[in-house]
């Protein structure tokens, strides 16, 4: 019997993975993931050559060459529920033989960089900054469905956060670390760094109140005020926790660099999205 039966690992008629509908030979091992499907083409316009293009649902994938580097850019849509699908299917493409349905003996470690947008949690970080995640704190629940392997330092930081931040009582946060190797490639003097909060929504779960009252009104301030051994919360978005948690458990290198659109403390929103996202794309393509 194969390792993975058809109900667990769905393979499409063309031999691709179920939601992404990409085949193994269509994916590079260096991958940029973006939330917005329209951002895929903005990135691949920089490629010297495009070797593969497809889209199924919100998952668009363009693979090509950029200055001799083979890169795929894949859209994830919004949220950690989509990241669960994208990371499992990217891993299956390289580490499971889709024809025999057996796990491969030799494993591939992908480099996966999220190029996204985010809200900012600190007065000192201006809107339009580029923010590199050192860790992600999930206040979603995707990471809780999988066994996690967390190093001692991250466990200590997770405990300090558990004791130091105010969350609705039914939320159990989980902390994971970004790849230091990828962060070293992406870092420079102009880049801000910190812990990224990953929420399960854009409004209430990120402390935004429109017409519905929230059960916890101090959450955002308690993130902004938290500090432990030089670690602080820099930004807030909707994908990093599951990306880092599932990605690292599967043996891949994962990180995220995001454009800060909204400063939630200063109540400011950018007017420069179009030009700044282009700057971020050029920055990432040159660094990876």
Q: Which helix (H) or strand (E) holds 161?
A: helix 152-164
Structure tokens, 222 = 């308690």
Return the ∠ at Cα 46 (arms to 40 and 52), rounded to 5°.
55
Q: Is 194 in the site for ligand R1P (CB under 6 A)?
A: no
Q: CB under 6 A: which stretch of 42-50, 114-122, 183-191, 213-221 binds ligand URA?
A: 114-122
Q: Provide the b/e sequence for 101-120 (b: ≥16 CB within 10 Å).
A: beeeeeeeebbbbbbbbbbb
Segment near ligand URA (CB under 6 A); pick from 41-49, 124-132, 220-228, 231-239: 231-239
Task: Give the Cα separation of 125 and 118 in Å (integer).
Answer: 12
CB of 119 to ligand R1P, least distance (A): 9
Is residue 204 close enough to count as binding ligand R1P by CB under 6 A? no
**Across the strands, what pairs with 158?**
none
- Which option in ligand URA, ligand R1P, none does residue 206 bind, with CB closer than 5 to 8 A by kind? ligand URA
202 binds ligand R1P (CB under 6 A): yes
Query: Distance between CA atoms of 73 and 41, rounded to whole angstroms?
Result: 9
Q: CA 105, CA 60: separation in Å to the nearest integer? A: 29
Near ligand R1P by CB under 6 A: residue from 17, 21, 22, 35: 35
Range 101-120, binding ligand R1P (CB under 6 A): 116-117
Each residue 61-80 as x (binds ligand R1P by CB under 6 A) or -, in order, gives: -----------------x--
Stretch that binds ligand R1P, among 87-95, 128-136, 186-194, 235-243 (CB under 6 A): 235-243
Give 117's strand partners: 259
Nearest-angstrom CA–CA distance, 76 and 180: 23
CB under 5 to 8 A by kind: which of ligand URA, ligand R1P, none does 23 bind? none
The residue of the chain with the least Cβ separation from ligand R1P equals 35
The residue within the footprint of ligand URA, chosen from 64, 119, 138, 207 (CB under 6 A), is 119
- Judged by beta carbon, residue 117 or residue 179, the one nearer ligand URA is 117
| Contact residue for ligand R1P among 84, 89, 111, 239 (CB under 6 A) | 239
The DSSP-derived string for 91-155 is: HHHHHEETTTTEE-SSPP--EEEEEEEEEE--TTS-TT-EEEEEEEEE-SSGGGGS-----HHHH
Contacts to ligand R1P by CB under 6 A: 34-36, 78, 116-117, 202, 237-239
Contacts to ligand URA by CB under 6 A: 117-119, 202, 206, 236-238, 261-262
């Amino acid at each position: 019997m194969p390792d993975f039966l058809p109900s667990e690992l769905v393979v499409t008629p063309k031999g691709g993975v179920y939601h992404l509908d990409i085949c193994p030979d269509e994916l590079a091992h260096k991958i940029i993931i973006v939330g917005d499907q329209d951002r895929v083409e903005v990135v691949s316009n920089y490629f010297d050559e495009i070797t593969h293009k497809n889209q199924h649902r919100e998952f668009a994938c363009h693979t090509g060459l950029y200055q001799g580097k083979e890169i795929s850019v894949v859209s994830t849509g919004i949220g950690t529920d989509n990241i669960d699908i994208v990371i499992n299917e990217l891993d299956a493409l390289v580490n499971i033989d889709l024809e025999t349905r057996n796990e491969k003996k030799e494993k591939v470690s992908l480099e996966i960089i999220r190029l996204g947008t985010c809200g900012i949690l600190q007065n000192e970080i201006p809107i339009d900054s580029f923010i590199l995640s050192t860790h992600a704190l999930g206040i979603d629940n995707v990471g809780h469905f999988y066994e996690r392997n967390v190093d001692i330092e991250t466990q200590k930081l997770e405990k300090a956060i558990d004791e130091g931040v105010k969350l609705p009582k039914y939320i159990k946060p989980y902390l994971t670390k970004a790849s230091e190797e990828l962060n070293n490639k992406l870092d420079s003097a102009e880049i801000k760094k910190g812990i990224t909060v990953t929420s399960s929504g854009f409004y209430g779960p990120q402390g935004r109140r429109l017409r519905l009252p929230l059960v916890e009104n101090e959450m955002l301030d308690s993130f902004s005020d938290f500090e432990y051994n030089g670690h602080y919360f820099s930004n807030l978005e909707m994908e990093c926790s599951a990306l880092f948690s599932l990605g690292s458990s599967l043996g891949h290198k994962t990180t995220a660099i995001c454009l800060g659109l909204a400063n939630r403390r200063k109540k400011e929103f950018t007017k420069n999205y179009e030009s700044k996202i282009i700057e971020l794309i050029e920055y990432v393509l040159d660094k990876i």
